[in-house]
Amino acid sequence: MTDPRPADAPADVPADVPANVLADPLLDPLFTTAAAARAFSPAARVQGMLDFEAALARAEAAVGVIPATAVPAIAAACDAALYDPAGLGAEAALAGNTAIPLVKHLTASVKAADPDAARFVHWGATSQDAMDSGLVLQLRGFIDGLDADLGRLADALAALADRHRATPMVARTWLQHALPTTFGLKAAGWLDALGRDRRRLAVARGGLALQFGGAAGTLAALGEAGPAVAEALARELDLPLPALPWHASRDRITEPAAALGILAGTLGTIGRDVSLMMQMEVAEAFEPAGPGRGGSSTMPHKRNPVSCAVLLSAAVRAPALVGGLLAAQVQEHERGLGGWHAEWQALPDLARLVAGAAHHAASMIAGLTVDADRMRANLDLTRGLILAEAVTMALGGRMGRLAAHSRVAEASRRAVTERRPLRDVLAEDSEIVQALGIDELDRLFDPLNYTGSAAVFIDRVLAEHARN
């Protein structure tokens, strides 16, 4: 089989991923991961619903609602490989959801093996129970897999922050030179935001609960046994048992969606910063290089920021998906019309998209090339103007803030006009030299002496990372 992947495809998208896993074999290798593609593949969607049906049979048998003899045939038929997703989809186009035809075919499969057991398939449940609980199972596995990539990214960022805690660079505000900072602090900022993202996802994962309410959320079909079945079913699926069914309360879906959207923004910020640092006029940091990675179809010299493009693309696309899911949260009465349906593709699309960005970010940061010499050289582009505030603050203690500001501003204008270092212009002012001294003036023009509390902030972030 010919390898369909581009040379720079994410490493965990193997060439033999089945076509029915990758929704778009031309673009998915760039924008998602094999794990995310599998988590939300048609087979996984079907298997999630079937896992619910098998667990339901076991739970109902455990509390005496259905005979225990019915369980083996039902459980054996709960294998997604036995069903045709395309056929189910065609029937769902008429039925309105995928669970209805799946339960029909599941019942037929069980009947072929044990006619008596077939009577108890899907007993007391509704289609939304199967679909929502199946989705919860998919989401839980997906978040666990995503966090593995996020953990890899966090570790790489922590190493970067520690390694470059004393690597001075330009801090840029409004894209212009502002003051000195360190690359370690920049990396720590990325890490700090990522830590909050991971905690938000963990909270959202904790909110994923069993969905089991029957036709109208009352479990009336099960009579007095309803609560006991629900408790047993939650144990079978290892899911929290909610106080009541949540058919029309979609916050359990929008919470992970919002967390994924915020994560996409964090990853996009990393992508934006790295891509700006990769510009040849800046040249402070570069994505990992490799055969076929970041090339141009016509310009042999190009080293394009491929991973940054994926991160930025996810940050552009995610808000619309999150917005759609938030809009879908408004439901009607006990079970909604349209809003529930709007989740079915939007949430998997969002999850696959963010997973791809997280994977690219982890690989990019782990292999990031940092040019500390260029960072230091860029600090000198303005011939010391970037340290004008440092001189002003030191001088202000001797002659007052306003006087110091005026004196340094005038020296800065001369330095720009005459294209000279600000330090040399200031050294020609006898009053400034008398107030500060040459040694102090030289010290003020060392960028590492004006990074404030950067080291303290880095230590705080690294300590928080170590605790998690």
Q: Which of 199, 296, 398, 413 is catalytic?
A: 296
**Annotation marks residue 296 as catalytic:** yes
Contact 127, 168 (CB under 8 A): no
Catalytic-labelled residue, pool 335, 374, 376, 443: 335
Which residue has tokens 């079907």? 46
Which residues are part of the catalytic machinery? 296, 335
